[in-house]
Structure 1
Amino acid sequence: MNFQPAAISGNLVSRAWSGEMIAPLSDGGQGTAASFVSRSFEHDGAGLPAELFISALGLYRCFINGARVGDDLLTPGWTNYDDRIAYQRYDVSSLLNPGLNRIEIWLADGWYRSPLMWGAKPIPNCWGDRIGAIADLMGPGGVLLSTDTSWRSGRLPILKSGIYFGEIYDALLENPMETHGTERLPFDTALLVAHETAAVRELQPLAAVESWTDDDGRTIYDFGQNVGGYVRYTVRGVGGTEVRVEHSEVLGPDRHFDNRNYRTAAAHTLYTLRGDGDGDDETYAPHFTFHGFRYARVTITGNAKIVEIASIPISSVSEPAGGFTCRNPLVNRLVQNTIWSQRANFVEVPTDCPQRDERLGWTGDAQVFAATACWLSDSQSFLRKYLRDVMADQREDGAVSHFSPDPTRLHPADFPGYAGSTGWGDAIVVIPWVLYTHYGDRAVLAECLNSMVRWVDFVWSISDGPIVHPPSHWGARGFTFGDWLQPVGDNRKPRPTIADDCAATLYHFISTDLLAKIAAVLGEHALEEQMKQRADEIRRTFTNEFITPAGRLAHNDQTSYALAFLHDLIPQEHHEAAQRHFRQVIVDADYRIGTGFIGTPALLPALTKLGMDDLAERVFLQEDVPGWLYQVSKGATTIWERWDSMAPDGTIYEPDMNSYNHYAYGAVCQWLFECVAGISPSPSVPGFAEVIVDPAPIRGLSPVAAHHDVSQGRIEAGWHCSGNEVTYVLTLPEGCIGRFRPGRRHQNPSLNGQPVGEEAVLPPGTHQLVFSLPES
């Protein structure tokens, strides 16, 4: 086929465009009816190959001769549109007819100009106030059709749509007329790159598990699973009847519908039946929005009935890449909850939540969850695309945005200072390293290196030295979220929490030390040495500032100990004393979690590293609040934003900031794979070419089974305990080797019946490792 060649830069693909970006003159602006652009054309090459290249300002759906092109959702996707915009490529050969054909492109506000940000002053028209489309239809001989001002436009039956708003659709207005022309928009086609990750698509529909009618005659459907997606239903009735669908994640204590935590997001759909008089069924689902929900409340105004209804989850990561099961059903459900939260929030961007007036790509959430994301799904292209948005949002002084794509960057007068928090901005260092270790992606390290250096230099500059003293006010340069939502227990005698300066300095070290390793991988030896020296300085000054001569950390809280031990910031002479303090802090908390967003992923790995398996088991398996299994015992089907999102009596916590679909605390799944199941990617031989084998069995979980799909095939690991004896079975595919070094918890180890010395290398195949645990 004589198609135009594409230009490739890294893994970004661009092309030469014949089409122009055209705007429908029917468009009334943000918040008004959606529009279409259309063109009829003659085609005499039926049966020959044809491809459509297409993109838009806003969101689009395309139809040729009335048939939808592709099944991708929310195209062209969400990026920093001033940096790059995705285009899609479709084989449309089967949609073209000999003779006259018609192409129609539907356009709506989408992320491009829907109001974004929470509260009373959202940002409309963030990246622009004109929607538009660009397309090239290509055949074997070249261009068959391109967008230009000969195209016509008109308004759609979608009377309003928005990311937070939802959608209003009037079927009485279907078969809209071409009423206006089009206008060429100034546009740089160099911004257009091929879609960088998997498209958003529908997952398997979920049927309602229960339904009932409330006191006002409205039907409430429980789909049994909190999702990111939408409701699709089939309805039969009289023309002009309205069907309103509202969404919620939870029910109040008396089973009343409660979506106060959506804040200002209307998050609803309104469908008006066409009712053509023949009693035909009408099926509707929103076109240009999505919701976070488990429950749907349906209000019918007029004469109609629902014939069929389903919840339709959507995601950019549809295929699982890993699984973990054990004998505890609450733990198994916790893993499933994490998978569902990842699916719901990995929609083009790793968002915090899919339901309220936020849905933003928070960098802190993404960096703590990145490794778990890679265990549970193939997240390589998804996170690499996200990192490009993070780099596009990085400020001139090196500060990294709190979230990306960042609407505030283009509107600093209204939203100043939305960048520069430690723990959040460190995503630019942490996530590339995760992609390198999991996928052997060296290129992402090189692509992000300059941004990494600018970030660590920015953090040093906050206080002009190794100890970071962040300002306390949001918006001030270097403000930090610290250990966000760290629980304090009884408010009459709260438990200790980490201070901002300690949290910031810990992450200052983490990223600086990691950058030294990244520089070594890339052969940047001068940078490696500079960052090693800087990390050593931070380590020394951390000891002087935050560790007493008796080995107690200054704030004596779980997060401080977990992060400091996990990242080797406790000097050897203080190890024994600091471990005693760490243990006592957890015992004093009655084995309840005392960590927030940055401390939680480190807590159990730190305890495992220190050999305190008894503590790790008690903390993980306790079912009180705060705890991982508490929310599962309360019926959660996704991960909560807050440990106390719901009280034991079912009372909903203050709804102003209370999401029931936040993946951050699901980062514990990394510990389940790497410590409990005992398989980790090797930083020195990345991409699972070498697997570090180091199981840390938790007796209360026996038996355990885990698997993970890598480029070489499937890795499987499992074990069971019989008294103190553990039998561990590992299967490695061709292209993977394992490396096992016995530790204190692996006594008298034998591999395939042979004693193990200091180290064993496991070739591809299935192996049995038997060892004894230390006496309790």
Structure 2
Amino acid sequence: MLAVEKITLNYETTLTGCETLPVFGWIITSSLRDVQQRSWRLQLSAQEDFAQCLFDSGEMHDDRSSNIELPDVACQHSTRYFVRVHITDNHGEESGWSPAATFITGLPAQAWQGVFISAETPQDKDNSKGTLLRHAFSLSDGDDIVSAVVHASALGLYQLWINGEKVGRDELSPGWTSYHHHLLYQTWDVTEHLREGENVIGAMVGAGWYKGDMSFNRYRNYYGQQTGFICHMVVTLRDGSQRIIATDAHWQGCDDAILFAEIYDGEVYDARREQRGWSEPAFSAGHWRAVTTLAAETSVLQPQTACPVQEIERLAPCSIIATPKGETVLDFGQNLSGWVEFRVRGAAGERVVLRHFEVLDAEGNVYLANLRTAKQCIDYTLRGEGEECYHPHFTFQGFRYVLIERWPGTPTRDDFVAVVLHSAMTPTGHIETSNADLNQLHHNIMWGLKGNFVDIPTDCPQRDERLGWTGDAQIFCRTASYLMQTRTFFAKWLTDLQHDQTPEGGVPHVIPDILTGKCDNDRFLSHGRTHSAAAWADAAVINPWTLYLMYGDKQTLARQYGSMKAWVEFMHDNAVENQWSWKLQFGDWVALDAKEGSYFGATPNELTCMAYYALSTLLLAKSAKALGNDVDHTHYQALHTAIVESFRNEFFTATGRLAARTQTAHILALYFQLVPDAHRERTVQTLLELLAENDGHLVTGFVGTPYFCHALSENGQADAAWQLLMKEDFPSWLYQVKAGATTIWEHWDGVKPDGTMWSPDMNSFNHYAYGAIGEWLYRVAAGINTEEHAPGFKSSVLRPIPGGGLTWLKARYGSVYGDIAVHWTQEPARDGLQSITLEVDIPPNTHSMVILDGAQTLLDTDGLDFAPVDGGYSAQVGSGHYRVIWQR
């Protein structure tokens, strides 16, 4: 039976606040094989029953079911719309109308009637307290409310409240952006929150990223010195008229019970100072003060249509530990980002003090040194009225353990729960194998994403940093996009990358950029060295291209194209004979072949810079082609050819020896296709020699590690790639697993084999970069890959490469067309041949090239027409479930 399972709007299932029509798509289900869509019809209406349609496409005879852009339709702002789809397929079946998807339109800049208001004064510039804002309004008995939609944002962080209830599930809104250019507002349907008669709308506001202490240099007030809040609520009545409730000078303000709230340091809260009932009509606000209006631009307001930070799950403590030093510690069993919620009883004035941290030291005691100056502390003063429940508001912590420094009475496990916070993204990837350690590695990679995708892709969530390092985000982008639907998340971050780019096209090391102009005394970043490092700045090109590959997302590619081109031109402008460099280069960061006491790996920066220059130029040429820009495609393709030729002349001898004898140099040369064909075999063999010299272990850092297994498996060395992955002793991915890690570490030896720690100045235990091996697990071990000519997995390649001593592997990836699944099992070799069973699921309206790598004999083809190819067999396959058995 043919059906449309769900409709997607900008790759999400629901949108709020969109100012332009979203890009539409839908996922098709069918019990038949080889299902291809033949036609579709889409209707858009402001009525749930579609009695009147604002737009009706009519029957469209094409096979598109993703990335569909409609002509301009005149939608009203602050209005809910409904979308439904009907399709037919190549078997003559019809789907019937799909369930409706909904979206709420946003508020154009010119329509905002609210202004930014603040309960702070300029004298509060060094304070990080919380404030409250409120406004009472009346809806008469005759007001028949049809809908109420509110749009809100803040300079700082905020929570919106109406009539005593928090609106929505979002936390840490409006998130962190390049606020002076790009400030997100949130949109909610609040119809159910309103009542006849008196109503109150209000907000809690905190410092957040806007004016709090930020970065390892601990500068504050980077964007401004006063917090602010803005909202605009549209109440639509049955007669078609509208009431507007917006922020203005008539609102009232007051200090909150939040005495202090900072991203790094935590929250101080005195429950005795709560303004109980402050957002309810019955509250007396006579003692509240007048607010001030701020001269902040509303033109920078842009809608956050999806992907807010939310509570995603809750974890109970595994145990309460008494350390050898007598400390009382909660163990939640998982390194995470979020906060602790607790319930407590005690007398007024008693306190709860909690310190959050990641690991115990070798003796089993509390270890705080790697937090550097971040306090990660919650200090709560009881009001003394029965059971009190509390969680923080405007901070988050990175932790597995919590030190209970103060608690009235004796704490129990039931008093606490860890609340996991991260950007709300749809999970799309899952891998399970016969090896428990490999499963734990995948778990750790996933939790590295969860812990660091808190509105921006941070390097780490616990110490006084938590910045959007471009290198980390670039390295991990493809892996992240297998694990979660990251299109919205990265598209938002890339918008800020474009805003924060230098006028010359240079790309800051962190996005949003809060380092430029604030690092004069930093040993690395002084003298303007806060932008344009190879592999870091290349996020400007690699990440938009990755979104195009994974989702077929031409919209982000087109929007970022100017930024991509500016970065490549920056390299070109600073190159001499295609060799470029810029002030500070991180190179193969924290590689194990670095000199003693150095973070910089042994691979020459000249090689790394030129390799990434070649890669970004190639991807820019491909992007130009995808966008139909033939002139740029030809130009940058020629530039790429010239860079590759220069690379070969500079770094390869006539006999094929690569001048830099490091693992990373050979990995980049191979994976970026920089090796002359005549010298490829020698380069591969040298890489194997470099592995053997380190007893089969990697010594790579941030640049070489993501591509190591790819460089091997793409060059006939899949067994070597599996052996590298499955190493269990230091340094290796599974060494961390064996050491009890629940996330990915910053260093291969964050905890050394003897139990001692790496230097505390830079030793995060939740640092996702090395989790980039996840891409290899999905693309090679499971074999799930897309094709550039049909991105978004419209056409996929399923080419699993079993190995690693596994007896089975199951993988599933939720593409924009539906789930792609691979399940392989392998039996021990008999008579020199190994039997492999492969089951695949291919979603409707797509097709796949299934390749049986190394197959010699086909035992069961399930009706598929396999043909011999170099190194195996292949078949072009339509949608459906298939089971194939072969021998190799």
TM-score (norm 1): 0.94
Q: Say which of 286, 293, 298 aligns to 2:404.
A: 298
* 1:287-327 deviations in Å (ceiling 9; x for gaps): 00100000001122655756510111111145321111111
Name the structure 1 match of 2:20.
8
Q: Is the 8 A contact 2:590 2:747 kept in 1?
A: yes
Name the structure 1 match of 2:157.
59
Name the structure 2 match of 1:473.
none
**1:113 pairs with 2:211:** yes
Measure, in 1, the Cα distance between the counterparts of 2:107 and 2:602: 49
Q: Is the 8 A contact 1:317 1:377 kept in 2?
A: no
Which deviates more, 141-150 or 11-20?
11-20
Name the structure 2 match of 1:288.
394
Q: Is the 8 A contact 2:124 2:226 kept in 1?
A: no
Name the structure 1 match of 2:867.
756
* 1:170-207 deviations in Å (ceiling 9; x for gaps): 00111176432111111221211111431111122111
Name the structure 1 match of 2:849.
739
**1:43 pairs with 2:139:** yes
* 1:380-432 deviations in Å (ceiling 9; x for gaps): 11011111011111001111011101112465767632110010010011111
Measure, in 1, the Cα distance between the counterparts of 2:770 and 2:194: 49
The within-5 A match list for 1:55-204 is 55-118=153-216, 121-140=217-236, 141-175=241-275, 178-204=287-313
Q: Say which of 248, 251, 266 aligns to 2:375.
A: 266
Measure, in 2, the Cα distance between the counterparts of 1:495 and 1:117: 21
User: Aligned pair in 2 of structure 1 residues 525, 37: CA closer, same or farther (>3 Å)?
Assistant: same
SS at match of 1:222: strand
Q: Say which of 420, 427, 438 aligns to 2:532.
A: 420
Q: Is the 8 A contact 1:709 1:715 kept in 2?
A: yes
User: Aligned pair in 2 of structure 1 residues 436, 461: CA closer, same or farther (>3 Å)?
Assistant: same
Name the structure 1 match of 2:603.
498
Q: Is the 8 A contact 1:37 1:105 kept in 2?
A: yes
How far residue 488 of structure 1 moved from its aligned partner, in angstroms, is: 2.1
Measure, in 2, the Cα distance between the counterparts of 1:643 and 1:675: 23
User: Aligned pair in 2 of structure 1 residues 726, 614: CA closer, same or farther (>3 Å)?
Assistant: same
Which deviates more, 481-490 or 684-693?
481-490
User: Aligned pair in 2 of structure 1 residues 699, 247: CA closer, same or farther (>3 Å)?
Assistant: closer
Name the structure 2 match of 1:772.
887
Q: Is the 8 A contact 1:238 1:304 kept in 2?
A: no
How far residue 582 of structure 1 moved from its aligned partner, in angstroms, is: 1.3
Name the structure 2 match of 1:396.
503
Q: Which amino acid in the other structure matches residue 165 of structure 1?
A: D
SS at match of 1:251: coil
How far residue 42 of structure 1 moved from its aligned partner, in angstroms, is: 1.4
Identical aligned residues as a percent? 34
Q: Is the 8 A contact 1:323 1:376 kept in 2?
A: yes
Q: Is the 8 A contact 2:590 2:601 kept in 1?
A: no
Q: Say which of 435, 460, 470 aligns to 1:328.
A: 435
Q: Is the 8 A contact 1:459 1:478 kept in 2?
A: no
5+ unaligned residues in a row in structure 1: which ranges?
A: 471-476
Q: Is the 8 A contact 1:321 1:708 kept in 2?
A: yes
Q: Which amino acid in the other structure matches residue 231 of structure 2?
A: A
SS at match of 1:701: coil
User: Aligned pair in 2 of structure 1 residues 9, 264: CA closer, same or farther (>3 Å)?
Assistant: farther
Name the structure 1 match of 2:484.
377
How far residue 516 of structure 1 moved from its aligned partner, in angstroms, is: 1.0
Measure, in 1, the Cα distance between the counterparts of 2:361 and 2:339: 22
How far residue 748 of structure 1 moved from its aligned partner, in angstroms, is: 3.7
Q: Say which of 341, 345, 361 aligns to 1:232.
A: 341
Q: Is the 8 A contact 1:600 1:665 kept in 2?
A: yes
How far residue 165 of structure 1 moved from its aligned partner, in angstroms, is: 1.5
Q: Which amino acid in the other structure matches residue 402 of structure 2?
A: A
**1:438 pairs with 2:438:** no
Name the structure 2 match of 1:713.
818
Measure, in 2, the Cα distance between the counterparts of 1:91 and 1:197: 14
How far residue 757 of structure 1 moved from its aligned partner, in angstroms, is: 3.2
Runs of 4+, deviation exceeding 4 Å: 4-7, 9-14, 214-218, 301-307, 410-415, 489-492
**1:408 pairs with 2:515:** yes
Q: Is the 8 A contact 1:438 1:687 kept in 2?
A: yes
Name the structure 2 match of 1:456.
568
Which deviates more, 675-684 or 182-191?
182-191
Name the structure 1 match of 2:282.
none
How far residue 441 of structure 1 moved from its aligned partner, in angstroms, is: 0.5
How far residue 28 of structure 1 moved from its aligned partner, in angstroms, is: 2.5
User: Aligned pair in 2 of structure 1 residues 352, 39: CA closer, same or farther (>3 Å)?
Assistant: same
SS at match of 2:354: strand
Q: Is the 8 A contact 1:25 1:180 kept in 2?
A: no
User: Aligned pair in 2 of structure 1 residues 412, 308: CA closer, same or farther (>3 Å)?
Assistant: closer
SS at match of 2:289: coil
Measure, in 2, the Cα distance between the counterparts of 1:212 and 1:510: 50
Measure, in 1, the Cα distance between the counterparts of 2:804 and 2:354: 47
The within-5 A match list for 1:462-541 is 462-468=574-580, 470=581, 477-488=582-593, 497-541=602-646
User: Aligned pair in 2 of structure 1 residues 625, 31: CA closer, same or farther (>3 Å)?
Assistant: farther
Root-mean-square deviation (Å): 2.3
Which deviates more, 734-743 or 255-264?
734-743
TM-score (norm 2): 0.82
User: Aligned pair in 2 of structure 1 residues 594, 13: CA closer, same or farther (>3 Å)?
Assistant: farther
Q: Is the 8 A contact 1:30 1:109 kept in 2?
A: no
Name the structure 2 match of 1:474.
none
How far residue 547 of structure 1 moved from its aligned partner, in angstroms, is: 1.4
User: Aligned pair in 2 of structure 1 residues 512, 490: CA closer, same or farther (>3 Å)?
Assistant: closer
Which deviates more, 680-689 or 415-424?
415-424
Measure, in 2, the Cα distance between the counterparts of 1:13 and 1:52: 9
Measure, in 1, the Cα distance between the counterparts of 2:601 and 2:503: 36
Q: Is the 8 A contact 2:842 2:880 kept in 1?
A: yes
* 1:37-88 deviations in Å (ceiling 9; x for gaps): 1112212247642222111110011211211111100011111101111111
Name the structure 1 match of 2:745.
640
SS at match of 2:506: coil
Q: Is the 8 A contact 1:704 1:720 kept in 2?
A: yes
How far residue 557 of structure 1 moved from its aligned partner, in angstroms, is: 1.4
How far residue 552 of structure 1 moved from its aligned partner, in angstroms, is: 2.3
Measure, in 1, the Cα distance between the counterparts of 2:305 and 2:192: 26
SS at match of 1:583: helix
SS at match of 1:258: coil
Q: Say which of 810, 823, 835 aligns to 1:725.
A: 835
SS at match of 1:90: strand
The within-5 A match list for 1:593-612 is 593-612=698-717
How far residue 614 of structure 1 moved from its aligned partner, in angstroms, is: 2.1
How far residue 330 of structure 1 moved from its aligned partner, in angstroms, is: 0.6
Q: Is the 8 A contact 1:748 1:755 kept in 2?
A: no
Measure, in 2, the Cα distance between the counterparts of 1:662 and 1:495: 18
* 1:349-407 deviations in Å (ceiling 9; x for gaps): 01111101000111111111111111000001101111101111100111101110111
Measure, in 1, the Cα distance between the counterparts of 2:372 and 2:602: 29
Q: Is the 8 A contact 2:267 2:392 kept in 1?
A: yes
